[in-house]
Amino acid sequence: MHHRVKTTLKYSISGFLTLFFLYFAFKGSDFPKLWDILTHANYWWALSMLPILILSHIFRAWRWEYLLRPIKRELRFRNLFSAMSVGYLVNNVLPKVGEVVRPYAIGKLEGISKSAAFGTLLVERIFDILSFLIMIALIPLIYSGPLTQAFPWLEATGIWVTAGTLVCISVLTFLMLRRDVVVKVLNFFTRHLPHKRARMVEHIAHSFLDGFLFLKEPKHYLPIAILSILVWVLYIFMMYLPFYAFGLTEKYGLDIRSAMVVQAISTIGYMAPTPGSTGPYHYFTVQSLTRLYGVDGELALSYATVTHAIGYVGMTIIGIYFFWVDKLHLADVIREEEAEDELAPDVSHAS
């Protein structure tokens, strides 16, 4: 399929999903009441989530450093945070393209293989999924309400995601440790490709697997685990503090445990390919607050709208700063994405 057609299809689906979830999030809302709630909210409490968000990304960059150390020992933390911030910026505009931007940015700033850097991003996603599954597993211990009645699909989703994650971890770990198997598989798929193209595919595959080399350094396991926990603890506090902006603690008795539940459910929204999770985040946050805690619909929607906007605008501004200062060019990123798309059909065709 031609790259432009694929790109058009991808962004059309993203736009549809954004509008679809926003429609159901705002459906039936009393907009004058919604506006009244928004105008009377305590925005100092809402804005308190911004420094926590930045701190969580600092911890994420720190964790990323541990994943990249087997590839390059000395890394400037500032460059790690810059590449990550630029990735969030681009994801806020072009969903999932930030996953290409981050390897491109850190590759330019630190001279690291983009394929290897991309491999570490997959490791990050696995950590995020595992953290999400842990939170889902803990919900019955802190919430005794109608969880399965409100979200009957949640248990099945957790089981399938768990199974898929374990399979992915097992396969990638095996391939990282047994490069001889990787060579045989690649030879099978690339035997009909031109020599130069085949070598390129092989290089990208091995560089990608280098992103999992941290597994060979057990001394890094503990700091990676601690940083992963801290990131999600901060995410929970980001959900908790804005409760006070809308009186949710006084009116409905929501506390830090409630914030953990809402965080777990709303995380599902971040899995959808929409710009900055716009739409799915609103929908799942509103659903968790209204169905599980009986929060008024307009109040829940106000909370979702404000918390999303603060995170979205905050990371966009930070990302623009680093994008400008580090003289990154979106055109180069687009060319990188096009090169990857062009490579994929050649490999599949070779089989």
Q: Where are the domains of the chain?
A: 3-350
φ/ψ of residue 331, rounded to 5: -60, -40
pLDDT at 272: 83
pLDDT tens across 215-272, in order?
778 888 899 999 999 999 999 999 999 999 999 999 999 999 999 999 999 988 888 8
CB neighbourhood size of 16 (10 A): 12
> Closest Cα partner for 128 from 156, 99, 106, 153?
99
Lookup: tokens for 177: 């440790």
Beta carbons of 182 and 209 less than 8 angstroms apart: yes
Instruction: Give the HSE-up count for residue 320: Cα atoms under 13 Å, Cβ half-sphere.
Output: 7
Give residues with Cβ within 8 angstroms of 218, minimum separation 6. none
Per-residue pLDDT of the chain (351 residues; tens, 9 = 90+): 556 677 778 788 889 999 999 999 999 999 999 999 999 999 999 999 999 999 999 999 999 999 998 888 889 999 999 999 999 998 998 877 778 888 889 988 998 888 888 888 888 888 888 888 888 878 888 888 777 777 777 766 667 777 777 787 787 777 777 777 777 877 777 777 777 777 777 767 767 777 777 777 888 889 999 999 999 999 999 999 999 999 999 999 999 999 999 999 998 888 888 998 999 999 999 999 999 999 999 999 999 999 999 999 999 999 999 999 988 876 666 665 555 555 444 433 333
pLDDT at 341: 52
Torsion, CA 231, CA 49, CA 104, CA 334, rounded to 10: 130
Cα separation, 242 vs 286, whole angstroms: 14
pLDDT at 78: 95
Cα separation, 198 vs 191, whole angstroms: 8
Exposure b/e, 158-182, CB count within 10 A at least 16 = b? beebeeebeeebeebeebbeeeeeb
Give residues with Cβ within 8 angstroms of 50, minimum separation 6. 310, 311, 314
Cα separation, 187 vs 209, whole angstroms: 16
